[in-house]
């Protein structure tokens, strides 16, 4: 395709802005770029490689003529508008959770299950959750090699996963505590720094509750790890034990995972498989951290170890930029697969 008419929905948010930047970085063959967002951002002008683009009001925007629409506007707006865009002829790549469990919508991690984009009855392709995405980059090649049967995964998720509001709350609470230095505790705990994004303070803290309460005492983030991993790997019987934690980090999600397979897998084999996996860097000489992953397209894997209590499995650590591979980059890579 010589030129593609592309729409970015949610273009003024953190992920939407990153989508536009990645389209530029990867020389995506854009013939026309349209940017859309809520009414409060409509009329804003954005400088892009393809000229200055005025942001349109999503509620009244006409999707006619678009080839591909990259959505990062939240689940409610996706449910309302993605089918409208698909009906107008655009293939929608949706970054929200709205369609991930829909059997007629493929859930795609570029480099893992590329073949799935071909079967899209509703004209929509879903982007997985950013935490699932990073873990699948490491788990999928090992699954192909040895047949993954169970997974214990604990995530350490940055505040950018909650959007700009989460990042602003971390900054405000960090300043609050720094201003107070080492003053005495108040009533056995720190003075309340305020905040509305998280149920407990995130500044200088960790919250073992990422997402919102869903069912069985698990959060929606944890259920995403369960259901999305099974769908992406085409392994409906995969056993997943998830815990999702919010940490005071700006960008970059980390996941500590224990993986067990249909046969024993040693460290040397795991390293060999991971070294050949697309989009993965294995760090053996140093421990990868969220700061290392920020701004990187690849997912970083380190601390690859054989399991201790029950031999034959693999423990590893995965970290990736949740705004790039975890969201915007994967959406653009799906668009590349489509063309």
Of 81, 10, 32, nearest to 327 by C-alpha is 10
Q: Which helix (H) or strand (E) holds 48?
A: strand 45-48
Structure tokens given for 270: 């795991």
Measured CA to CA, the distance from residue 83 to residue 121 in angstroms comes to 11
Token pair for residue 92?
Answer: 């929608």
Pair of tokens at residue 46: 């954005």
Tokens of 95: 């970054």
Spatial separation of the C-alpha atoms in residues 190 and 35, rounded to whole Å:
44
Residues pairing with 126 in the sheet: 94, 107
Q: What CA–CA distance (Å, rounded) separates 331 from 16?
A: 10
Contacting residues for 40 by C-beta, under 8 A, at least 6 apart: none
- Give the C-alpha separation, 97 to 30, whole Å: 26
Q: Residue 151 is inside which H or E element, if any?
A: strand 148-157
SS3 of 123, please?
coil
Catalytic residues: 130, 253
Instruction: Please state, in angstroms and rounded to a whole number, the distance separating the CA atoms of residues 271 and 327.
Output: 26
Asked whether 143 and 237 are in contact (CB, 8 A), the reply is: no
Q: What is the C-alpha to C-alpha distance for residues 328 and 71, in angstroms, rounded to an integer?
A: 10
Tell me which DSSP letter residue 224 carries: H
Query: Tokens at residue 325, please?
Result: 């591979």
């Amino acid at each position: 395709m010589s030129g593609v008419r592309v729409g970015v929905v949610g273009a003024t948010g953190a992920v939407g802005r990153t989508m536009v930047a990645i389209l530029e970085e990867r020389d995506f063959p854009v013939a026309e770029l349209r940017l859309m967002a809520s009414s409060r951002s409509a009329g804003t002008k954005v400088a892009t490689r393809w000229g200055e683009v005025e942001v349109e009001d999503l509620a009244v925007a006409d999707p006619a003529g678009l080839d591909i629409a990259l959505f990062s506007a939240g689940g409610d707006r996706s449910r309302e508008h993605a089918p409208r865009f698909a009906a107008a002829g655009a293939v929608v790549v949706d970054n929200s959770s709205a369609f991930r469990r829909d059997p007629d919508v493929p859930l795609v991690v570029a480099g893992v299950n590329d073949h799935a984009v071909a079967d899209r009855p509703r004209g929509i392709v879903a982007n997985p959750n950013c935490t699932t995405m990073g873990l699948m980059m490491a788990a999928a090649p090992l699954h192909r090699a040895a047949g993954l049967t169970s997974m214990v995964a604990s995530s350490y998720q940055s505040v950018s996963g909650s959007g700009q509001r989460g990042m602003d709350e971390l900054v405000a609470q960090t300043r609050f505590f720094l201003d107070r230095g080492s003053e005495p505790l108040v009533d056995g705990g720190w003075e309340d720094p305020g905040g509305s994004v998280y149920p407990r303070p995130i500044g200088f803290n960790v919250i073992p509750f990422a997402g919102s309460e869903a069912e069985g005492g698990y959060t929606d983030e944890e259920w995403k790890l369960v259901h999305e991993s099974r769908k992406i790997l085409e392994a409906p019987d995969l056993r997943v034990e998830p815990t999702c934690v919010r940490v005071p980090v700006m960008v970059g999600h980390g996941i500590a995972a224990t993986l067990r397979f249909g046969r024993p897998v040693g460290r040397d084999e795991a390293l060999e498989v991971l070294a050949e996996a697309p989009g993965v860097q294995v760090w053996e000489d140093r421990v990868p951290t969220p700061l290392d992953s920020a701004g990187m397209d690849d997912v970083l894997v380190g601390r690859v170890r054989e399991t201790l209590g029950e031999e034959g499995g693999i423990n590893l650590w995965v970290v990736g930029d949740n705004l790039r591979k975890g969201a915007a980059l994967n959406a653009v890579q799906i668009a590349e697969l489509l063309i």
